[in-house]
Amino acid sequence: MTNAPPVALTIAGSDCSAGAGIQADLKTFQHFAVHGLTAITCVVAESATLVRAVHPVPVALLRDQVSLMLDLFPVAAVKTGMLFSAAHVRAVAELLAAQPRLALVVDPVMIASTGTPLLEPDALQAYRESLLPLAKLITPNLPEAEALLGHTISNKEELVAAACQLAEIFKTNILLKGGHLDGPECLDVLVVDGETINFCGPRQVVAGSHGTGCTLSAAVTAELAMGATLPTAVGAAKAYLTSTLKHSYVFRCPGGGTIHALNQGTVIG
């Protein structure tokens, strides 16, 4: 009999194209040899280029999924992705507030890569009030950080300042992703225990990057489940995401055109 692996839970939407959401999280957990559990918040009919429909799961069913997994398994780390509504956010926050030992990574998913909104407007306040203060790490991209702060972020200096501001507001650690800024390099800023650590690397130019945020936050969550420190977890997650981008591939669609996908099965090294 082998020793059981660490356990991580993802609370997020289901992406039928398997590039983002629950499916991306599970593939990432598997790569890091972590046992992945799921609680589905929404079923989304989408691809890398289109969001056709979003169907939220009843809040009571979401509660049952999360509470059952926390009762049955030795969960070490949890990540949240697409939560959709204020009611979903508050339900998750209520359950996780009773589990302060868990390492919680909050990816505040608001808008799909296609530009389609994935969060109801009144849910942002629920994030601010109930969920973000519980997090060990929050992983917003630039537009999400702008929504949380209420102002634009135009350059790397403002990115660093915004990461520090978010850490102060929510009294937690922040990984602010700067991939939306123009330039040959991408800067991500980690603020952990008041210290600022910059992760900077060449931009990986690919035809599509559907699911990068989900993949990165899931990789951080997996590392935390294994006991890594936050700087180590973020470094490993960045290396994994870079590899998925470098080894991404293209499918030719039966009706014409192409679909680009991250290679989340990539083994590094």
Residue range 96-109, pLDDT digits in tens: 999 999 999 999 99
Residue range 183-213, pLDDT digits in tens: 778 899 999 999 999 998 788 777 667 889 9
Is position 267 within any domain?
no
pLDDT of residue 206: 74
Which of 116, 45, 113, 39 shows the shortest CA–CA distance to 262? 113
Model confidence band, residue 267 (pLDDT cutoffs 50, 70, 90): low
Is position 128 within any domain?
yes
| pTM beyond cutoff 0.85 | yes
* Bridge-based pairing state of the strands 7-15 and 75-80: parallel
Q: How many CA atoms lie within 13 A of 73 on its CB side?
A: 23
Residue range 1-34, pLDDT digits in tens: 568 999 999 999 999 999 999 999 999 999 999 9
Q: What is the CATH number of the domain that holds 83?
A: 3.40.1190.20
Is position 39 within any domain?
yes
Domain of residue 49 covers: 7-261
Is position 269 within any domain?
no
The Cα-based distances of 86 to 15, 94, 121, 213, 246 in angstroms read: 21, 12, 9, 21, 37
Q: How many CA atoms lie within 13 A of 263 on its CB side?
A: 13
Written as six digits, the tokens of 255 are: 């009706």
Residue range 77-131, pLDDT digits in tens: 999 999 999 999 999 999 999 999 999 999 999 887 777 788 998 999 999 999 9
- The pLDDT of 164-181, averaged and rounded, is 92
Q: Are 38 and 81 a contacting pair, CB within 8 Å?
A: no
Is position 268 within any domain?
no
Higher-scoring residue by pLDDT: 73, 268: 73
Is position 108 within any domain?
yes
Domain count, the chain: 1
Is position 122 within any domain?
yes
144's enclosing H/E stretch is helix 142-149
Is position 2 within any domain?
no
